[in-house]
Amino acid sequence: MTIVKKFELIDDQFIEELGVKLFRIRALVSFARVCAGDIGGYVEKEENLSQADKAWVFGNARVYGNAQLFDNARVFGNAQVFDDVRVSNNAQVFGNAQVFGNANLYDSVRVFSNAQVFGSANMFDDVHVSGNAQVFGSAWVIGNARVCGSAQMFDNVHASGNAQVFGSAQVFDKVQVSGDAQVFGSAQIFDKVQVSGNAQVFGSTRVCGSAQVSGSARVFEDVYASSNARMK
């Protein structure tokens, strides 16, 4: 079956990004919130944006490399999506956010402000990543999890449920944050730690060594916990 093209590259409207020529796009048909004739953002080539569905690049947003947008995905503002990224379903990238590497965004994920998602990070459901937050490595973030502020999550971490990681917190090295747990302040959590329930870890706390923080536990200030510690 022949697919009717929904957009074209505008040959005489282009910019260069990292030595790569990116072209403005023009809608050829009307769909979703886009009308035939509308001018969109920038792509390197047609393969960056599916011709078959309602995905679109708006404003000054840029999609290039081998990155691809599918379904109802949207990229707008000054956002950049590049390398081998896949953005699909109803996921959105906007503001000055950057998504690159081999990252995958699905469902209703939002990445915005100055946030960066890269490496092999995977995000599903209704996750929000914002502020100056960074999620990278082989991180998995699902559910209604929120990562914001200047927080960093990386290296095989899992965040799920209504988990929140914010402030200048660092969460890495196979940590799991789930339930309604919060990690914030300048906390560092690493080395297979599990934070769950309504637990809060904040301040200048360092928790490592397969420790478990659960229930309504509050771990804060200059606490250092390691070696299979249990805090409830």
Which residue ranges form the domains of the chain, and what is each CATH number? 113-232 (2.160.10.10)
pLDDT of residue 223: 64
Average pLDDT, integer, range 77-82? 98
pLDDT of residue 230: 74
pLDDT of residue 99: 98
Contact 112, 95 (CB under 8 A): yes
pLDDT of residue 4: 85
Average pLDDT, integer, range 139-152? 98
Q: Which residues contact 14 (CB under 8 A, 6 or more apart)?
A: 21, 22, 23, 24, 42
| DSSP class of 45 | S
pLDDT band at 31 (very low <50, low <70, confident <90, very high): very high
Which of these ranges, 80-94, 188-202, 211-225, has the smallest mean pLDDT?
Answer: 211-225
Alpha-carbon distance of 70 to 135, in angstroms, equals 22
Q: Has residue 1 got a pLDDT over 60?
A: no
- Which candidate, 75, 46, 41, 73, places its Cα nearest to that of 60? 41
Which residues does residue 15 pair with via DSSP β-bridges, in sequence order?
22
